[in-house]
Structure 1
Amino acid sequence: MKKEFQLQLSPEEAYNPVIFQETLLKKAGLPLDSKDVIARQLKRSIDARGRQVKVNIQAELFVKEKPTPLIEHIDHYQNVTNADPIIIVGAGPAGLFAALRAIELGVKPIILERGKDVRARRRDLAAITKDHIVNPDSNYCFGEGGAGTYSDGKLYTRSKKRGDIRRIMEILVAHGATEEILVDAHPHIGTNKLPKLVADLRNSILEAGGEIHFDCRVDDLTIEGDEIKGVVTQDGEKIKGLGVILATGHSARDIFHLLHEKKVLIEAKPFAFGVRIEHSQNLIDRIQYHCAVDRGEYLPASAYSLVTQTQYQGKQRGVFSFCMCPGGYIVPAATSPGELVVNGMSPSRRDSKYANSGIVVSVELEDLPNYQKFGPLAAMHFQADIEKKAWKMGGETQVAPAQRMVDFVNKRVSSSLLDTSYQPGLVSVEMREVLPDFISQRLAIAFKAFGGKMKGYFTNDSQLIGVESRTSSPVRIPRDRESFEHVALKRLYPCGEGAGYAGGIVSAAMDGERCAEKLIAAYVHK
């Protein structure tokens, strides 16, 4: 017998498995010592709007009945060793899921990844943090799993395609993610768990006969007429396939330059630019959970989402939180020497004493009149110039420029900075000397507004750390809305965040699957 419940519980009732089962038995009118009973949560979300935090639960209780699996059985992938090949440039979420979908459809994927495998990549991340050495092919953005591998691993998306989202989640669970990601309203995996999961995805591809080549940067395209026939690697090797899925991520500036030089149509795209804000996690918990001391044993580290509209010089622009990392760390995310970029990540337990979030300003192309000479690369050049300025202001290392929040708003250099999760270190500067005026002015307006929405958020016990510049691709590679094929170059399928069609692990994975399906339908299974 199976019973279903919609419940609103206390954090202890929701997150303590023993107490949760006892609560469900009481709701079902069954004795607490009932045998052959299994309680299972299907959906879980936190409601912190009232003074007492509640957890909304959709649950099932199985009495003398075996529960159905939360994930559908995923078949072993067929062997495609001798099948027709397609080329996938980039081994981030879009590229990996494009490869898995290609295998399901009987096609051999050949993934070319400029960076290293997930284990070898760790050494280059340590070199950025400890020695301030940036490897342009292996860093927090480039390498197996892409930028998502060393991130919070957030899995929520604004996409409305619930079936497709569920499919991605189930594939992740089949490769090692906990079933909790199928339950939580805002699921995440954690930077400590992602590397093994990514390696397991790689093994599935290789075991099925797909290929993955690391340290294999694409430096040229083989184009004949209006079709792409293949690519040329950094070693001069020419690799051909029935089509090319370009899934390089939002930071592959050399690819954007290459496309422009090859006269392959690309477009400048609006994006967002700002800083990372770091508070103590305890402060954010006290604000969000209305608690006097701490959040207690059962509640997870709290998150926040903020947005406001700002007026400056007659133009309205949004300012919003981006990639908020509860219990997380700020990391150096530059992809070339001579630039400074920061990003955030969280371990699965989200147990750092710090909370950080990007606070970024929407940047439209009309905001960049001095960069219009760069055509479709205008926003990218703007982005790069500010990153270089941040690097210089930090002392030409990976030490990041920083300023306390209230000091920034009051145009006062901070006499001291707070402890930080950012391991390369901070230097106190006037952040208005790093950021363009139209961004710093809007940030100052927004911080005051956010303080009105979250009492205690606007405080000098927080600090700006800059710059947060890689929110999304500053370039779009245009493709047909129906076929997903590039609008002018046949057999090229721009894909994922780097092409301007995704924003996170799940949406990138979904886009990778769709690109593989469209390419294969058009040129393999005609």
Structure 2
Amino acid sequence: MKKELDVVLAPEVAYDPALLNQELLQLAGLTPEEPSAYIHKIKRSIDARGRQVQVKVRADVYAQAPDVSQLIPTHPYPELKPDAKRVLIVGAGSAGLFAALRCVQLGLKPVVLERGKDVRARRRDLAAINKDHVVNPDSNYCFGEGGAGTYSDGKLYTRSKKRGDVQRILQILVQHGATQDILFDAHPHIGTNKLPILISQIRETILQAGGEIHFDTRVTDFIVEGKQMRGVHTATGQTFEGEAVILATGHSARDIYELLHAKNILIEAKPFAMGVRVEHQQSLIDGIQYHCNGDRGNYLPAASYALVQQVDYKGQQRGVFSFCMCPGGFIVPSATAPGEVVVNGMSPSRRDSKFANSGIVVAINLEDMDLKNHGALAGLRLQQIMEQRACAVAGGTQVAPAQRLQDFVKGKVSSSLLETSYQPGLASVDMLDVLPPMIGQRLRGGFQEFGYKMRGYLTNEAQIVGVESRTSSPVRIPRDKETLQHPQIQNLFPCAEGAGYAGGIVSAAMDGERCAEQVALLIQR
């Protein structure tokens, strides 16, 4: 017997595993002592629209335990045959790792080339950025095993449901160590403290099956023969050849865009977004979202928000919106070269920092990029200009420029700044000395509107930190809609964020799997 439940519960029940199971069993007419009962949780989401916060839970309760492998299947990774065809995968972020896992399942040997270090060794370079302001161009918050997602919030929510099987990706993450909560929470996340262990487990799966992963191996050139991609050269002096190349380098591998451009391999400028990080006390966001005095209690998770507003500048409307909101999180330095300042957000699994931060960014269209002589690299150049300006204005280190929120809106330089989660430190500046007017003026208007939407949000007890410039790739590497191959170069499969086709851990993973599947079809032909 199966009982389908769709119920509304108090947070203290919905987020206490023992109480939740007890309540669901009772609602299904079973006792907690029933030895053969099984609860399959399907979805859990917070409804904070009313004065009293409630949690919606959907679950199937079985009187007799079913075959759990049918509800939460595991995915096998058989040992590869000695003569398995080789597929080169450039980049070991979410897209590259999931492409490698899928290659194994399809009988192909993945050879993953990662410019950065393994996830454990990478930590030393992150510490060097935070403490000593030293940026290693090959090992940082963007580059290294797991990619940019490893040391970010680990958010697993995606709207890209048509691009693949979201549940499959989540199941594979659970199989490698993620909690089963990610299978039913409406906005699941793993947390930056737990992701490294999970990433290392995925690495072991690939290696045990017979795949290869090469760290500290930056691709410097492509081997192209007769419009066909044959392999790559690396900075280590090695040459790697394979049946195909999946290019999964992420949105910050600017040298790859430069290489493609130099070799006359077609790339295109694309719209993206840039702006700042805004940091509030988490208790303030909790108070606004949960209609409380800032004490959300022991059960509700740290509150998040999503904001969007169309704002005019010189007669042109552009979207101003929140991006990668990190409740209970930290702002981190995400530069990939000396002489630039870039910020991003991350959260531990418990989301228990006293700070909340979010990117607040402005949509940048192609006509906004007054850098026509740079062609397809116009957006990349705009990023560089802003990041280098942020570094120079703040003193030439990883100290970031900042301004209190109301001061920014009113055009006043802050006489002092607030405590911050950003470890390298902040410098009080006029952020309009950093941001182009088309971004700065729209941000001012956006923050004013956000203050109306969330009473208490627009306050001088919050501050903005710059610059948030790596929201997505400013370059698209084109590909055929069906085969996913580059239109000019056969056997080249542009993939995920770096190619302009996905954003976030789950959507990038799904795109990596799709590219692997198309490679398999190519080889079979």
The TM-score normalised by the length of structure 2 is 0.98
Q: Deviations over 1:131-163 (max 9, x none)?
A: 000000000000000001101100111112386
Contact (CA 8 Å) 2:163, 2:507: kept in 1 or not?
Answer: no
TM superposition shift of 1:23: 2.3
Q: How many pairs align?
A: 524
Report the equivalent of 2:254: 253
TM superposition shift of 1:30: 4.4
Report the equivalent of 2:233: 232
Contact (CA 8 Å) 1:486, 1:494: kept in 2 or not?
Answer: yes
Report the equivalent of 1:405: 405
Report the equivalent of 1:525: 524
Contact (CA 8 Å) 1:84, 1:242: kept in 2 or not?
Answer: yes
Report the equivalent of 1:474: 474
Q: Which deviates the most, 186-195 or 17-26?
A: 17-26
TM superposition shift of 1:37: 3.9
Q: Does structure 1 residue 209 correspond to structure 2 residue 206?
A: no
Which structure 2 residues correspond to residues 307-318 of structure 1 after superposition, within 5 A?
Answer: 307-318=308-319
TM superposition shift of 1:73: 2.8
Report the equivalent of 2:440: 440
> Quick one: distance in 1 between partners of 2:109 and 2:21?
47
> Quick one: distance in 2 between partners of 1:39 and 1:89?
41
Report the equivalent of 2:106: 105
TM superposition shift of 1:34: 5.1
> Quick one: distance in 2 between partners of 1:130 and 1:288?
34
Corresponding residue SS for 2:121: helix
Change (3 A) 1:31 1:431: same
> Quick one: distance in 2 between partners of 1:30 and 1:409?
58
Q: Does structure 1 residue 16 correspond to structure 2 residue 16?
A: yes
**Match for 2:205: what amino acid?**
S
Q: Does structure 1 residue 287 correspond to structure 2 residue 288?
A: yes
Which structure 2 residues correspond to residues 77-96 of structure 1 after superposition, within 5 A?
Answer: 77-96=78-97
Q: Does structure 1 residue 57 correspond to structure 2 residue 45?
A: no
Which structure 2 residues correspond to residues 11-50 of structure 1 after superposition, within 5 A?
Answer: 11-30=11-30, 36-50=36-50
Report the equivalent of 2:488: 488
Q: Which deviates the most, 75-84 or 211-220?
A: 75-84
**Match for 2:131: what amino acid?**
K
TM superposition shift of 1:22: 3.2
> Quick one: distance in 2 between partners of 1:59 and 1:342?
39
TM superposition shift of 1:17: 2.4
Corresponding residue SS for 1:119: coil
> Quick one: distance in 1 between partners of 2:110 and 2:518?
14
Q: Which runs of 5+ in 2 are unaligned?
A: none
Change (3 A) 1:436 1:39: same
TM superposition shift of 1:82: 3.0
Q: Which runs of 5+ in 1 are unaligned?
A: none
Corresponding residue SS for 1:118: coil
Contact (CA 8 Å) 1:78, 1:104: kept in 2 or not?
Answer: no
Contact (CA 8 Å) 2:163, 2:511: kept in 1 or not?
Answer: no
Which structure 2 residues correspond to residues 211-360 of structure 1 after superposition, within 5 A?
Answer: 211-360=212-361
Corresponding residue SS for 1:274: strand
TM superposition shift of 1:445: 0.3
Corresponding residue SS for 1:452: helix
TM superposition shift of 1:375: 0.7
> Quick one: distance in 2 between partners of 1:322 and 1:87?
32
Contact (CA 8 Å) 1:80, 1:208: kept in 2 or not?
Answer: no
Contact (CA 8 Å) 1:286, 1:293: kept in 2 or not?
Answer: yes
> Quick one: distance in 2 between partners of 1:262 and 1:442?
37
Q: Deviations over 1:413-447 (max 9, x none)?
A: 01111110000011100000000011000000000
**Match for 1:204: what amino acid?**
T
Change (3 A) 1:425 1:5: same
> Quick one: distance in 2 between partners of 1:395 and 1:484?
44
Contact (CA 8 Å) 2:285, 2:294: kept in 1 or not?
Answer: no
> Quick one: distance in 1 between partners of 2:241 and 2:27?
62
Change (3 A) 1:364 1:286: same
TM superposition shift of 1:323: 0.3
Change (3 A) 1:137 1:42: same
Report the equivalent of 1:500: 500
Report the equivalent of 2:376: 376
> Quick one: distance in 2 between partners of 1:33 and 1:205?
41
Q: Quick one: percent identity of the two aligned structures?
A: 63
TM superposition shift of 1:53: 0.5
The TM-score normalised by the length of structure 1 is 0.97
Which structure 2 residues correspond to residues 116-265 of structure 1 after superposition, within 5 A?
Answer: 116-161=117-162, 164-265=165-266
Contact (CA 8 Å) 2:77, 2:101: kept in 1 or not?
Answer: no
**Match for 1:97: what amino acid?**
F
Q: Deviations over 1:277-329 (max 9, x none)?
A: 00000000000000124101110001100001011111110010000001000
> Quick one: distance in 2 between partners of 1:98 and 1:85?
13
Change (3 A) 1:37 1:103: closer
> Quick one: distance in 2 between partners of 1:111 and 1:190?
24
Contact (CA 8 Å) 2:90, 2:245: kept in 1 or not?
Answer: yes
TM superposition shift of 1:88: 0.6
TM superposition shift of 1:24: 2.5
